């Protein structure tokens, strides 16, 4: 089973679902992110310059913390193998956009495989309504998530959020 998440603002083309689940079906990944940056210039697609700069900065920090080389983490197009959602403690996450980054930390902490595919994105005023202030708060919350993930990974402060549920979960068939 595969769960696909698409933000409902019509920035992402839902007809690409077969492509985003393909790496999972081929058993090459457990989570697949649709990358706006692998699809070409996000700026040419209409991403505001300040969001582009913030995305590049946060992605660089996230790659460093998680030990990955993804082109971006801040996408609203994702696919998850069922086992991932049964294993990570996503119920401990926030209920805002930071949820998307918290679950990536959980996926990495649990040792699941991530992949990316290029996805084009549509930018228009109704879909790009996050203000500079709201985006700044989002960025600070991501940095906070990375801080707590690092403490957890280093064993300095365990976090229930990043603990796997594998030992506590019994699959119901």
Q: Is residue 171 part of a domain?
A: no
For the chain, the domain total comes to 1
The string of DSSP letters for 83-97 reads HHHHHS-GGGS-SST
pLDDT at 23 over 90: yes
Q: How confident is the model at residue 54 (pLDDT cuts 50, 70, 90)?
A: very high
Q: Which residues contact 21 (CB under 8 A, 6 or more apart)?
A: 2, 4, 32, 79
pLDDT at 88 over 90: yes
Per residue in 61-77, pLDDT (tens digit) is 999 999 999 999 999 99
Q: Is residue 173 part of a domain?
A: no
Q: Is residue 68 part of a domain?
A: yes
- Residues of the chain with pLDDT > 90, as a percent, come to 66
| Domain assignment of residue 114, given as a range | 2-162
How is residue 79 annotated by DSSP? Answer: E
Burial 33-61 (b: 16+ CB within 10 A, else e): bbbbbbbeebeeeebeeebeebbeebbee
Distance from C-alpha of 98 to C-alpha of 78, rounded to nearest angstrom? 14
Q: Is residue 168 part of a domain?
A: no
Q: Is residue 170 part of a domain?
A: no
Q: Is residue 157 part of a domain?
A: yes
Per residue in 139-165, pLDDT (tens digit) is 999 999 999 999 999 999 988 888 888
Q: Is residue 135 part of a domain?
A: yes
Cβ atoms of 15 and 87 closer than 8 Å = no
């Amino acid at each position: 089973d595969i769960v696909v998440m698409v933000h409902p603002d019509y920035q992402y083309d839902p007809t690409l679902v077969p492509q985003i689940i393909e790496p999972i079906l081929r058993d090459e990944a457990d989570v697949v992110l649709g990358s706006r940056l692998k699809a070409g210039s996000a700026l040419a697609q209409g991403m505001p310059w300040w969001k582009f700069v913030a995305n590049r900065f946060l992605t660089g920090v996230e790659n460093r913390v998680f030990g990955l080389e993804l082109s971006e983490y801040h996408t609203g197009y994702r696919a998850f193998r069922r086992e991932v959602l049964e294993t990570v403690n996503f119920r401990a996450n926030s209920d805002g956009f930071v949820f998307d980054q918290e679950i990536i930390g959980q996926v990495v902490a649990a040792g699941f495989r991530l992949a990316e595919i290029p996805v084009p994105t549509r930018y228009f005023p109704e879909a790009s309504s996050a203000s500079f202030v709201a985006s700044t708060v989002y960025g600070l919350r991501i940095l906070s998530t990375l801080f707590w993930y690092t403490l957890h990974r280093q064993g300095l402060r365990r976090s229930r959020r990043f603990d796997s549920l594998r030992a506590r979960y019994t699959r119901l068939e």
